[in-house]
Each structure stands twice: as C-alpha cells, then as structure tokens.
C-alpha cells in the first residue's frame, strides 16, 4: 500500500515539474508541438576611428558618441524586426595613419561578421576605408565631406554636406562681415584641405567674392608666421583656414600675435570641436565656421548633447553628433531590412527617407540618399563661437542665435 502511494506521488511530482518548467516533453504529453525559441542575433557594427595619433582628439570623442548611440538604440528595444537584436559596436583604432587604416579596415571586415561600418571622419582615411569596404561589399556610412567619396561607389553613404557645399556656405558667410569680401584661403594639403579649398576657388566668382590669396601648406607645421605674413601682405579682410585642430590653433594664435585685423572663418575640421576653444580661449570668440552638424539644430540634437555633456563634460561636436545620427540611420535600415546581411542593409540604406527622429538629425531635418549615396537634402550650417559654445547662425532658416558682431 505504501509503495503504491509513493509511486503515485512520484508521478504527480514529475508531472508538476514538467508542467511548471514548460519542457518540451510536457508539451508533447498533452499533444501540442514543442515551442522552440531562439535568442535574437547580435548585429555587429564596425567603427573605424583614430583614437591615437594626431587626430585622436576627434577620434576619442567619436567613439564616446558611438557608444552612446548604440546604448540608445539598444535601450529602446534594439532592432525589433530581428527579435530585438542588440547592436554590438566593434571599434578599431586606425591610428591617424592611412596605411594602418587600410590594414585595420581589412582586418575588421575579414575577422567579424559585420552588417555595416561607420567611420573615419578624416577624408584621407575615409577614402581608403571606403575603398576596402566597397571591395568587400560592406556598406560604410560616414561624416567625411570629400566629394571624391561618392565617385564610382555603391556601398558608401554620406548623409551630410559635401566639401563643395561647405565652400559655398563660407563664401556666403563672408558677406556677413563685408560688402566686398577679399578672402585669403590657406589650406592643409590633404584630401580634406585640397577638395574644400578648390571648391572655394571655383565658386568665389559666382558668389561675388574676390580671392586675393590661395596658399597650401604642409599639415602639421610648427611655425605659421611665414603663412600669416603672406595673408597680411595680401590685403585680405577675411581669412579662410581649411585646417585640422593643431594647425588651426597655431594659425589663430599667430594672427593675433602679429596684430592682423581680419575676420576668420575656420571652416570645419578642428575649428568646431571643444578642444579648439580650450586651446585658444577668448581668441575664439566671434570666429565663424561651417559644420555638417551642430548640437543646437533640433530638439533631438539638444537631448543627445545634454547626455553626451553629462558623460564627457563637453558639448557634442560636429563629427560625434553626426555619428549618433548615422547610428540611427543604420538602425532604421536594419529595421526595414529585417536582416543582418550587409547586402540587404545596403539596399535598405539606399532607400532611406527620414524627416523625424534621431536619424533625421541633419541641417534641414531630412535625409534621403540619391543613387550616388549622397543625401539629396544635405547642406552645411554656419556656426560662430559665442560664450565658449558653438551657435548656429547661418542660413536664416537654420539660425538658432543672431550673429555676434566682432
């Protein structure tokens, strides 16, 4: 009798255990097919940035922004069409070097199952990275401004303004300080400097601007005096310096040291990052520039800027802010592709058309790629250093603050 009770008790305990755990055997015992669930697949996004070397100031900030953007996407539920798949950022340091960029891009692609890449911001590096990505058929989205990037490429996407557009904006902004602008153009001799400066030279006549000096220099120089003395002798009333951070700091300091009274438009590059103001201080006040992104441009941009500032102590600068937008563009494409396959992600990116949310954080608030991978709505925004911050001041429809007279 006791043995029979124990046997019955064992059967009941086993049945209760199987029911409670929802095991496949329990489901089969009541005639239902087993329910098999799979964990959502992780989506690998490659990130190519110089976190060491001469461009590290910008690269480190970009990586911080990339991590913030991935966190935002994942916290919002990941890629829902992929079962809530989380983005996984794989960062590679390209060391501010073109040769390293080539080997690192190849290593990143061959060593990981990537859906897409973003990087590198510096045109000289991005031209190489995009060449490798094109060959491997992996889409790359970038804040780099070189017009060369989209020539003959089908996997390269540029959601922001081109170098030629920056040039036009700078020329138009010169009329904010003089009815008859006489401009000295000095530029560092890399892809970024030459493409932007050539755009200035070509567009100046149509914009009614006289270029009285057009001078290249070797990036990374240590003495700006000979260059600035040439500017002084040219009779220019405006100076356009197409330079990355360290060169621009040296040029601005030298202009002030020699007592040259000239309006300065620092363009993009090093001019629009917090480190510029840290190094030149009040010498930056009133200086103008152009950017493909600024942190005051929309409610979304200001929200992201507040979080980035809380984490880093600095405002979200052009390249880093644009990178947050790019991450959301990739998330949008992945959502519509419903796949991690890079070819399908490329196809989805080519069909991107957004006018709201974080993916639309661009001047004008619209992003739609044309057949060449350029945003058909892409345009720059004119900015000015005001009270230690960058304010959007040009054109009128994008202005968030009045131009400060200097």
Same domain, 157 and 179: no
Same domain, 339 and 365: yes
pLDDT, residue 93, reads 98
Q: Is residue 66 included in any domain, yes or no?
A: yes
* CATH assignment of the domain containing 189: 3.40.50.2300
Q: What's the pTM?
A: 0.84
Same domain, 156 and 169: no
* Range name among 18-22, 108-112, 309-313 with the lowest pLDDT average: 18-22
pLDDT, residue 163, reads 81
Higher pLDDT, 42 or 192: 42
Q: Which domain holds residue 131?
A: 43-161+297-375
Same domain, 355 and 306: yes
- How far is it, in rounded angstroms, from Cα 388 to Cα 274? 9
Binned at pLDDT 50, 70 and 90, residue 74 comes out as very high
Same domain, 179 and 77: no
Q: Flag whether pLDDT at 253 surpasses 80.
A: yes
Mean local confidence (pLDDT), 216-228: 94
pLDDT above 70: percentage of residues in the chain: 90
Q: Is residue 286 included in any domain, yes or no?
A: yes
Same domain, 53 and 131: yes
CA atoms 132, 134, 137, 138: torsion sign? positive
pLDDT, residue 405, reads 82
Cβ within 8 Å of residue 184, ≥6 positions away: 211, 212, 213, 215, 230, 231, 234, 236, 238, 239, 240, 262
pLDDT, residue 39, reads 53
Same domain, 307 and 277: no
Same domain, 175 and 280: yes
- How far is it, in rounded angstroms, from Cα 8 to Cα 290? 81
Same domain, 267 and 360: no
Same domain, 266 and 390: yes
Same domain, 316 and 357: yes
How long a stretch of residues is the chain? 406
How many domains in the chain?
2
Q: Is residue 2 included in any domain, yes or no?
A: no
pLDDT in tens, 108-139: 999 999 999 999 998 889 999 999 999 999 99
Same domain, 242 and 199: yes
């Amino acid at each position: 009798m006791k043995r029979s009770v124990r046997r019955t008790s064992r059967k009941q305990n086993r049945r209760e255990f199987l029911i409670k755990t929802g095991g496949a055997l329990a489901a089969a015992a009541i005639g239902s097919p087993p329910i098999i669930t799979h964990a959502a697949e992780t989506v690998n996004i490659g990130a190519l940035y110089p976190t060491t070397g001469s461009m590290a100031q910008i690269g480190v900030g970009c990586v911080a922004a990339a991590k913030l953007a991935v966190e935002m996407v994942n916290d919002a539920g990941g890629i829902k069409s992929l079962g809530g798949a989380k983005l996984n950022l794989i960062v590679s340091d390209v060391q501010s070097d073109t040769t390293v960029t080539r080997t690192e891009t190849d290593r990143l692609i061959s060593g990981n199952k990537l859906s897409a890449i973003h990087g590198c911001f510096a045109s000289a590096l991005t031209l190489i990275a995009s060449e490798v990505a094109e060959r491997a058929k992996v889409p790359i989205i970038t804040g780099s401004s070189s017009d060369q990037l989209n020539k003959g490429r089908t996997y390269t996407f540029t959601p922001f303004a081109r170098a030629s557009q920056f040039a036009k904006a700078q020329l138009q902004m010169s009329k904010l300080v003089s009815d008859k602008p006489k401009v000295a153009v000095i530029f560092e001799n890399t892809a970024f400097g030459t493409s932007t400066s050539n755009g200035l030279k070509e567009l100046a006549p149509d914009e009614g601007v006289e270029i009285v000096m057009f001078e290249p220099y070797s990036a990374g120089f240590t003495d700006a005096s000979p260059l600035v003395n040439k500017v002084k002798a040219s009779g220019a009333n405006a100076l356009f310096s197409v330079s990355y951070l360290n060169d621009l700091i040296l040029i601005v300091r030298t202009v002030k040291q020699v007592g040259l009274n000239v309006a300065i438009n620092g363009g993009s590059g090093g001019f629009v990052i917090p480190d510029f103001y840290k190094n030149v201080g009040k010498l930056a006040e009133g200086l103008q520039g152009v950017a493909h992104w600024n942190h005051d441009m929309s409610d979304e941009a200001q929200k992201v800027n507040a979080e980035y500032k809380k984490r880093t102590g600095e405002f979200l600068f052009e390249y880093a802010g644009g990178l947050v937008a790019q991450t959301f563009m990739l998330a949008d494409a992945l959502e519509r592709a419903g796949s991690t396959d890079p070819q399908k992600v490329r196809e989805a990116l080519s069909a991107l058309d957004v006018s709201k949310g974080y993916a639309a954080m661009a001047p004008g608030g619209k992003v739609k790629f044309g057949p060449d991978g350029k945003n058909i709505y892409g345009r720059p925004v004119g900015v000015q250093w005001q009270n230690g911050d960058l304010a959007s001041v040009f054109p009128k429809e994008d202005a968030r603050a009045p131009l400060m007279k200097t």
